[in-house]
């Protein structure tokens, strides 16, 4: 097996672990637009799972491997849309996960949804944080959709379009919910 195929296989595997977390993470944030109490209740229960040290260690290791593997894949090739969405995820995840860990461990804050929504409270930080979150949701849905579409044969285009549409709708709902909370 070539190094490129091995990295792609790893990226697919760690991508599946991460995608499971991200899916629930984003559903959690979409709930904010429906009923904030529901979103906070969901986070309380979801935290009991992913905040267990072993689970969190696996999650953070998956993020690290995804960033390193993804960067290696993008340097050696890959379709342009996969590289563009991948590079945005690289930027977002580095900033996002560092901010969350620094907020929690460095500053002793409760890094719940209010922590994330704080950036949308005032000008000029809102001009950065609204597109920053919106594009992250769009990029992750589109990027995973592109990956799945490679194995979807004649339905490839439909899968990519559907994933992009889900990203647009979820991104709008999440940023809308965060603005209402802020």
Q: Are 109 and 115 in contact (CB under 8 A)?
A: yes
CB of 161: closest distance to ligand HEM in angstroms? 17
Q: Contact between 130 and ligand HEM (CB under 6 A)?
A: no
Distance (Å, rounded) from C-alpha 159 to C-alpha 146?
8
Token pair of 100 as six digits: 């969350």
Binding mask 33-72 for ligand HEM (x = CB under 6 A): --------------x--------x--xx--x--xx--xx-
Q: Contact between 157 and ligand HEM (CB under 6 A)?
A: no
Q: Are 61 and 39 in contact (CB under 8 A)?
A: no
Q: Are 171 and 140 in contact (CB under 8 A)?
A: no
Q: Contact between 181 and ligand HEM (CB under 6 A)?
A: no
What are the residues whose beta carbons fall under 8 Å from the beta carbon of 179, sequence distance 6 or more?
Answer: 117, 120, 130
Distance (Å, rounded) from C-alpha 170 to C-alpha 138?
8
CB of 124: closest distance to ligand HEM in angstroms? 19
Q: Contact between 86 and ligand HEM (CB under 6 A)?
A: yes
Q: Contact between 102 and ligand HEM (CB under 6 A)?
A: no
Over its C-alpha atoms, the chain yields an Rg (Å, rounded) of 17
| Residues binding ligand HEM (CB under 6 A) | 8, 11-12, 15, 18-19, 22, 25, 29, 47, 56, 59-60, 63, 66-67, 70-71, 73-74, 77-79, 82-83, 86-87, 89-90, 93, 96-97, 100, 104, 111-113, 115-116, 133, 136-137, 140, 143-144, 147, 150, 174
């Amino acid at each position: 097996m070539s190094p490129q195929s091995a990295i792609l296989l790893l990226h697919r595997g760690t991508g599946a672990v991460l995608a499971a977390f991200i899916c629930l993470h984003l559903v959690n944030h979409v709930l904010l637009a429906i009923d904030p109490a529901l979103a906070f209740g969901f986070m309380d229960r979801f935290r009991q799972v992913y905040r267990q040290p072993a689970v969190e260690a696996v999650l953070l290791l998956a993020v690290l491997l995804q960033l390193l593997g993804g960067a290696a894949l993008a340097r050696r090739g890959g379709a342009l849309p996969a590289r563009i969405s991948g590079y945005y995820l690289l930027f977002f995840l580095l900033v996002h996960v560092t901010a969350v860990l620094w907020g929690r461990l460095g500053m002793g804050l409760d890094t719940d949804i209010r922590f994330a929504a704080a950036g949308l409270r005032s000008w000029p930080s809102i001009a950065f944080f609204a597109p920053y979150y919106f594009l992250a949701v769009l990029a992750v849905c589109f990027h995973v959709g592109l990956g799945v579409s490679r194995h979807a044969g004649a339905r490839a285009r439909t899968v990519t379009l559907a994933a992009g549409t889900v990203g647009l709708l979820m991104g709008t709902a999440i940023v809308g919910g965060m603005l209402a909370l802020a």
